[in-house]
Amino acid sequence: MIQLKSFAKINLCLYVLKKRRDGFHEIYTVMQAVDLYDRLSLYRIPEGMTIQTDNPQLPTDRRNLVYKAAELFLNQAKIDSGVRIKIQKRIPLSSGLGGGSSNAAFTLMGLNQLFDAGLSRKKLVEMAKQIGSDVPFFLYSGQAVATGRGEKIREVKLPSDYWIVLIKPDILLSTAWVYKNFKINLTRKRKLIKIYKGKKSFFDSIIGWENELEKASARKYPLLQELREKLKKIGAIKTSMSGSGPTVYGIFLKKPKYKEVKSLKREEWQIWVTRPIPLWVL
């Protein structure tokens, strides 16, 4: 048996470039891992596959990306025994934090270790692309630029000496709905996002980075913009929605005070104070 931490991510920016012939959208995004994580426990068993979780809303069949990842790995690696996987959830479902994609990616890495299969990262990435657009990111370090539909990854090294406050309101947003209702402005000249490695220039530049999907989400739920304003009032230098939402985050140069964060709390919201992580700790 082995255990793994399966980390969440935020999108420091997300630009939608065009709709592709395959129905997906061409995007440009900078993703950053954060130290909010689920815990995966992988057990080798004689045969079959079982997924267990402490979240009753999470399916345990082929609708779960962990099931898809395990099934694909066992077939591709030609493993003749089975696996039992326990998922302890902390990352909310459908939150824009990449929990399902992260679980799938770390399942691939974990099974590679559990069965001593020796598959290369390139091979694991090939599998990840078959599972979901965000899955390949989690097979790299915690900082990367993603293009294509999100599956083309280029690792970058960014400053990580700051704090992130995540707020997940009690709102349901599906990725499909957000993309369907997002309108691409074909006449707007798009800025080329420059990745600055210096601490000061990095923080100066990310203030202007955008998540263009937020336009559609905020039209339906004005609360998202209200949450960003609340984060700014307690000192966030940048606020944004992560992914297709509905989680909103604020970036702070210093750890925000407990009373300030507590003042944001509502009974139906989930809030975390997190840090960015540059590298996975397996």
pLDDT in tens, the chain (282 residues): 999 999 999 999 999 988 888 878 889 999 999 999 999 999 999 999 999 999 999 999 999 999 999 999 999 999 999 999 999 999 999 999 999 999 999 999 999 999 999 999 999 999 999 999 999 999 998 999 999 989 999 999 999 999 999 999 999 888 888 988 888 766 555 555 667 667 778 999 999 999 999 999 999 999 999 999 999 999 999 999 999 999 999 999 999 999 999 899 888 899 999 999 987 654
Q: Say what the pTM is.
A: 0.93
* Active site amino acids: 9, 134
Cα–Cα distance, 5 to 164 (Å, whole number): 19
Given a contact cutoff of 8 angstroms between Cβ atoms, the answer to whether 8 and 28 are in contact is no
Q: Domains of the chain (ranges plus CATH)?
A: 2-155 (3.30.230.10), 163-274 (3.30.70.890)
Q: Which DSSP letter does residue 276 get?
A: B
Q: Which helix or strand (DSSP H or E) is residue 39 part of? A: strand 25-45
> Whose structure tokens read 């230098």?
237
Cα–Cα distance, 24 to 75 (Å, whole number): 27
